[in-house]
Amino acid sequence: MNAAHAHCDAAIAAESLAARETSHPNWLLTTTILASSLAFIDGSVINVGLPALGVTFKAAAGDLQWVINAYLLPLSALLLLGGAAGDRYGRARLLVIGIAMFGAASIGCALAQNLVWLLACRALQGVGAALLLPNSLAILGTAFSGEARGRAIGIWASMGAVMGAIGPVLGGWLIDTVGWRSIFLINLPLAVGAIVLALMFVRDARREEKAPALDLAGGVLATAALGALTWGLTIGAGHAGWTLVALALAFAGVVLTLGFLAVEKFKGEVAMMPLSLFGSSSFVGLTLLTSLLYGAMGALFVLIPYVLIQAGKYSGAQAGAALLPFAVLLAAASPLMGSLAGRVGSRGPLIVGPLVVAGGFLLVLRIGAGSDYWTTVFPAILAIAIGMAAAVAPLTTAVLATVDSGHTGSASGVNSAVARTGGMVATASLGAVLGASGSALISGLHIAAIGCAIASIAASASAFFLIELPPKFRLPRDGV
């Protein structure tokens, strides 16, 4: 999923409004790659570590879900606010602060003596990622112009895919040989290198006017709403079921969401999520598609390594390598699909791609406890990768094409936040599966795969019914 996020997030850099040259382009590009790699590696490697964490802390399924969502919650809710903070206080400054926070939190995770300690540090990692990710992309977008910008963004996205692919394999090997604490320490060399390079080579461009005040009320409400909804869903989808507490949390999440929307409407164009974006049916369709498709991917990247380790007796390194074909194919095929979308439009690939993904999830139904990787797991991963490769680059293209030039940064940021929220909601829904063992775990995997297939079909339907055809493909009206 992180490889897909790399291409999705690249839109933020691609559409930065101000462009300027830099006297150290290669070093600046290296800085942004190192900084962003922290988020990509950490987001993928933790999935391989869930079984080991469960053993160490004697964690229940709901606890394991929070190991992932404690990170995704602040990242999803504060991603837009982190970018706005960079615009107001300086992107280079916020980049260094975010990297330092992420590095310190990683040390805290490695030293965690109990689950509460680990979750607190995971949340701090999420806040750090919400600061470093949008600002590293904005710095990249403003440092280059023209063809050089496109080339730099392509390198950044490809390296993000590579880091997301290497993370689970390296993490799995470290878990097998050193222990799970070491997977958090691999962040430190990247963090130190990124900070040193940022201090040496990254400078903020002079701003003509002061940026608008931060939408702090929106950020607080978004975090509280997502937290309540996720907590309620985690309880409701687990063995406890929809108790009064779960229902109360879900209701509170809905109320807080309505409050967030009211604040955003009041703030208008200076809101962290301008509601005017949703005046376009195409943008609504793309938002639904992103949430559904990335939610399905989030479930896949949690469940497959977990099931392979718990039921298939894979080592951590083997489980991490099982998903490697996904990242490799996505990185190789996405540029080609981006070019195709530029010629024929994004709607067709966004209809077909999720349907292929749905077929891949149905192939997951063939996976059992003793299944051979190459005849059962690999075909499913390959089909899902082909479908995602068909959709990821056209999705970015479509998001940027559905809004005017003044909203491209907000639109791409919202789309990136929605992608991570979809993954978070999916993870919160997996309690019953993660809490199962033996044949029940395989049955839970199959039920989840069917749910992911349905979500992927719904994503395709969102593209079909809500995304408008490009003008050149529309039928003439009234003889015109």
Q: Where are the domains of the chain?
A: 2-204+272-469, 216-271
Segment of 5-9, 257-261, 414-418 carrying the highest mean pLDDT:
257-261
State how far Cα 333 lies from the chain centre.
Answer: 19
pLDDT over 70 percentage in the chain: 89
pLDDT at 472 exceeding the cut of 60: no
* Confidence (pLDDT) at 3: 65
Tokens of 375: 């005849």
Q: Once rounded to an integer, what is the mean pLDDT over residues 45-62?
A: 90
Measured CA to CA, the distance from residue 137 to residue 132 in angstroms comes to 9
* Confidence (pLDDT) at 98: 96
* Confidence (pLDDT) at 17: 44
Closest CA relative to residue 469, chosen from 350, 353, 345 = 345
Strand, coil or helix: what is 22?
Answer: coil
pLDDT at 107 exceeding the cut of 60: yes
State how far Cα 225 lies from the chain centre.
Answer: 19
Residues near 272 by Cβ (< 8 Å), separated by ≥ 6?
80, 81, 84, 215, 218, 219, 222, 264
User: What single letter denotes the amino acid at residue 291?
Assistant: S
pLDDT in tens, 186-237: 999 999 999 999 999 888 766 656 667 788 999 999 999 999 999 999 898 8
pLDDT at 127 exceeding the cut of 90: yes
State how far Cα 304 lies from the chain centre.
Answer: 17
> pLDDT tier at 155 (50, 70, 90 boundaries)?
confident
DSSP annotation of 210 reads P
For residues 286 and 402, the model is more confident at: 286
* Confidence (pLDDT) at 309: 93
Segment of 41-55, 119-133, 387-401 carrying the highest mean pLDDT:
119-133
Closest CA relative to residue 260, chosen from 417, 89, 102 = 417
* Confidence (pLDDT) at 241: 84
* Confidence (pLDDT) at 191: 95
pLDDT at 480 exceeding the cut of 50: no
Measured CA to CA, the distance from residue 392 to residue 7 in angstroms comes to 7
With b for 16 or more beta-carbon neighbours within 10 A and e for fewer, the 219-231 pattern comes to bbbbbbbbbbbbb
Closest CA relative to residue 217, chosen from 275, 265, 287, 278 = 265
* Confidence (pLDDT) at 8: 63
Measured CA to CA, the distance from residue 168 to residue 322 in angstroms comes to 9
Measured CA to CA, the distance from residue 433 to residue 441 in angstroms comes to 6
Is the entire prediction scored with pTM above 0.85? yes
Mean pLDDT computed over every residue of the chain: 86
Question: Contact 168/44 with Cβ under 8 angstroms?
Answer: yes
Whether domain 2-204+272-469 has CATH 1.20.1250.20: yes
